[in-house]
């Protein structure tokens, strides 16, 4: 296949598209803000934060809906730094955590895993990490809040390795972790980046580096800290994994950094290393397993997120597309792989730190928002030239379930249509009992707020009042293979045999324990927590 050359190739090389994965309150908003600050995308940190405060001060979805304009602009943030074009994908984490958060990771080329030094690896980080792992993307670890007393860094390393199953290699190492933070030691350059609390803050500050083997070091580190640091480094050199860039890029080794986003400490040096080690957009596989290079001349991209009702007056939607190959130009006509239809992409939008802007040209790694009058589906491939179709976006296992029904039997058709539409958009997943008992629809969601979204949208867009009755299930597993008919399996009494929207067999469980029990008692039963969206 012919390749792009020259300028376009350079544009691709300087692109970095990543997501920050973390548990709520680890400091993702603060870190994002500091990255934007260094990129000059905002001049004073605080604006992302203010936006988040707006968003989260509202507890119910109807309020969030009113503020949709806000959440959209923060879905993707682009900025330039040191010759790089950086796209940060937002992964909502508080009450708006949903399947969208997982789907967004499918569009990223690498991830920054942010960990609170005092809390270590937390639940939501584990879930997001596993999604990144499915695609073996490089993962960079930033241990935040070092200005406060935190856990022992060796213990944190061990936790990452044991809980997440990825080897960790510290690039920097903290000095003083009991609330007496002095800075970090850069293992490659043997310099200490000095922490001077209070000097940092909301505007950019130049970091101070002191060579460890210099007289000056005595001015910034007392003997006891120097001794402890030397011991730590010796131990790391002997017992730790050595740095291996190939392993980092293959997602087998996570480089670890320590700092304090709030104090602007360690952020810029992290960003510099991140840009050096991470990769520009890499080839992606199509449905047949062919690898499509970003430098291929023909344009291709896929839809990974659809946000509905951005403007309630028009009922429009925005489909988020990741450009995978070639060059995107405003107004170009592309083919939709699933339907073979030609579509003119007339109103594409890019997302800057504080506004939506019309985009003229976009390159692999970039995310653009497409005006969607209801023609796009999640996982859709758009392309020019030779037919290209990327592997679909996975379905991720919901963790909350409810029986949803309508009391008004005359509205049943509308009800089913609405639920189906929301399932197509990926807001919810639907299931039904395999034994045909009960006419209700079982709805599964990753984030609980989606139940509110469902209720609100069915009422507002379809005029249907529904009853949502929560069910005790906490997990769904798709059946990959079974030794016998599902109803003949030995299952915990609380498990339910069901079908998903595509008539695939699934089992609904109340706990991790019952999943294990089912597997232990049915040899040959193979289950999975993700399926391909069809």
Binding interface with ligand G4P (CB under 6 A):
22, 24-30, 49, 144-145, 147-148, 260-263
Q: 32 and 48 in contact (C-beta within 8 Å)?
A: yes
Task: Extract the tokens encoding 346.
Answer: 């007339």
What is the bridge-based pairing of β-strands 191-194 and 110-116? unpaired
Distance of CA 312 to the CA centre of its chain: 27
Helix (H, G, I), strand (E, B) or coil at 36: helix
Nearer to ligand G4P, 22 or 429 (CB): 22
Q: 152 and 63 in contact (C-beta within 8 Å)?
A: no
Nearer to ligand G4P, 1 or 50 (CB): 50
The Cβ-side half-sphere exposure at 93, using a 13 Å CA radius, reads: 24
In 7-152, alpha helices (H):
7-13, 28-38, 47-57, 61-66, 68-73, 99-106, 123-134
Q: Sheet containing 167-170: which strands, arranged edge to edge?
A: 76-81, 84-89, 15-21, 110-116, 139-144, 253-258, 167-170
Helix (H, G, I), strand (E, B) or coil at 236: helix
Task: Extract the tokens encoding 225.
Answer: 């800290």
* Nearest distance, CB of residue 200 and ligand G4P, angstroms: 10
Q: Sheet containing 475-481: which strands, arranged edge to edge?
A: 466-471, 400-406, 441-445, 429-433, 496-500, 505-509, 475-481, 526-528
* Nearest distance, CB of residue 229 and ligand G4P, angstroms: 21
Nearer to ligand G4P, 39 or 266 (CB): 266
* Nearest distance, CB of residue 148 and ligand G4P, angstroms: 5
* Nearest distance, CB of residue 205 and ligand G4P, angstroms: 14
* Nearest distance, CB of residue 79 and ligand G4P, angstroms: 18
* Nearest distance, CB of residue 270 and ligand G4P, angstroms: 12
Nearer to ligand G4P, 29 or 101 (CB): 29
Nearer to ligand G4P, 144 or 172 (CB): 144
Nearer to ligand G4P, 65 or 90 (CB): 90
Q: CA torsion angle for 128, 269, 41, 92 (degrees, to 10)?
A: 10
In 43-122, alpha helices (H):
47-57, 61-66, 68-73, 99-106
Nearer to ligand G4P, 267 or 427 (CB): 267
* Nearest distance, CB of residue 133 and ligand G4P, angstroms: 21
* Nearest distance, CB of residue 171 and ligand G4P, angstroms: 18
φ, ψ of residue 375 in degrees (nearest 5): -105, -15
Nearer to ligand G4P, 92 or 301 (CB): 92
List the one residue out of 262, 147, 116 whose CA is nearest residue 201: 262
């Amino acid at each position: 296949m012919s390749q792009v050359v020259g300028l376009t190739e350079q544009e691709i090389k300087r692109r970095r598209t990543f997501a920050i994965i973390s548990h709520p309150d680890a400091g993702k908003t603060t870190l994002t803000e500091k990255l934007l600050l260094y990129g000059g995308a905002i001049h004073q940190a605080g604006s992302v934060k203010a936006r988040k405060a707006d968003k989260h001060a509202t507890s119910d979805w109807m309020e969030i809906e009113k503020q949709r304009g806000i959440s959209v602009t923060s879905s993707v943030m682009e900025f330039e730094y040191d010759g790089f074009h950086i796209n940060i994908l937002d992964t909502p984490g508080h009450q708006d955590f949903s399947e969208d958060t997982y789907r967004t990771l499918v569009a990223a080329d690498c991830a920054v895993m942010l960990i609170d030094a005092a809390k270590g690896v937390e639940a939501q980080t584990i879930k997001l990490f596993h999604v990144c792992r499915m695609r073996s993307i490089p993962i960079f670890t930033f241990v935040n809040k070092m200005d406060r007393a935190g856990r022992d860094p060796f213990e944190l390393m061990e936790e990452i390795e044991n809980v997440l199953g990825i080897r960790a290699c510290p690039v920097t190492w903290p000095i003083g972790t009991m609330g007496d933070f002095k800075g970090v030691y850069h293992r490659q350059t043997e310099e200490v980046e000095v922490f001077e609390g209070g000097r940092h803050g909301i505007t950019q500050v130049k970091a101070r580096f002191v060579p460890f083997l210099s007289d000056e070091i005595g001015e910034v580190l007392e003997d006891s800290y120097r001794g402890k640091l030397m011991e730590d480094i010796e131990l790391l050199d002997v017992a730790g994994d050595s740095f291996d860039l190939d392993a980092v890029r293959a997602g087998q080794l996570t480089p670890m950094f320590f700092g304090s986003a709030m104090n602007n400490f360690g952020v810029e040096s992290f960003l510099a290393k991140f840009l050096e080690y991470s990769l520009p957009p890499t080839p992606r596989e199509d449905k047949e397993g062919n690898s499509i290079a970003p430098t291929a001349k023909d344009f291709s991209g896929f839809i990974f997120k659809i946000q509905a009702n951005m403007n309630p007056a028009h009922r429009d939607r925005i489909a988020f597309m990741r450009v995978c190959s070639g060059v995107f130009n405003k107004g170009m006509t592309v083919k939709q792989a699933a339907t073979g239809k030609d579509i003119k992409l007339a109103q594409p939008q890019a997302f800057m730190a504080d506004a939506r802007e019309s985009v003229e040209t976009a390159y692999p790694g970039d995310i653009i928002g497409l005006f969607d009058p209801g023609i796009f589906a999640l996982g859709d491939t758009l392309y020019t030239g030779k037919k290209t179709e990327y592997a679909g976006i996975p379905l991720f296992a919901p963790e909350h379930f409810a029986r949803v029904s309508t009391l008004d039997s005359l509205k049943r058709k509308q009800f089913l249509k609405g639920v189906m539409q929301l399932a197509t958009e990926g807001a919810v997943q639907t299931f039904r009992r395999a034994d045909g008992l009960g006419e209700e629809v079982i709805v599964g969601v990753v984030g609980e707020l989606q139940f509110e979204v469902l209720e609100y949208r069915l009422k507002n867009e379809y005029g249907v009042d529904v009853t949502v009755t929560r069910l005790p299930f906490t997990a769904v597993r798709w059946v990959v293979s079974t030794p016998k008919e599902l109803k003949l399996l030995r299952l915990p009494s609380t498990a339910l045999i069901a079908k998903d929207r595509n008539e695939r067999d699934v089992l609904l469980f109340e706990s991790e324990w019952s999943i294990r029990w089912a597997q232990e008692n049915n040899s040959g039963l193979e289950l999975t927590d993700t399926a391909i969206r069809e």
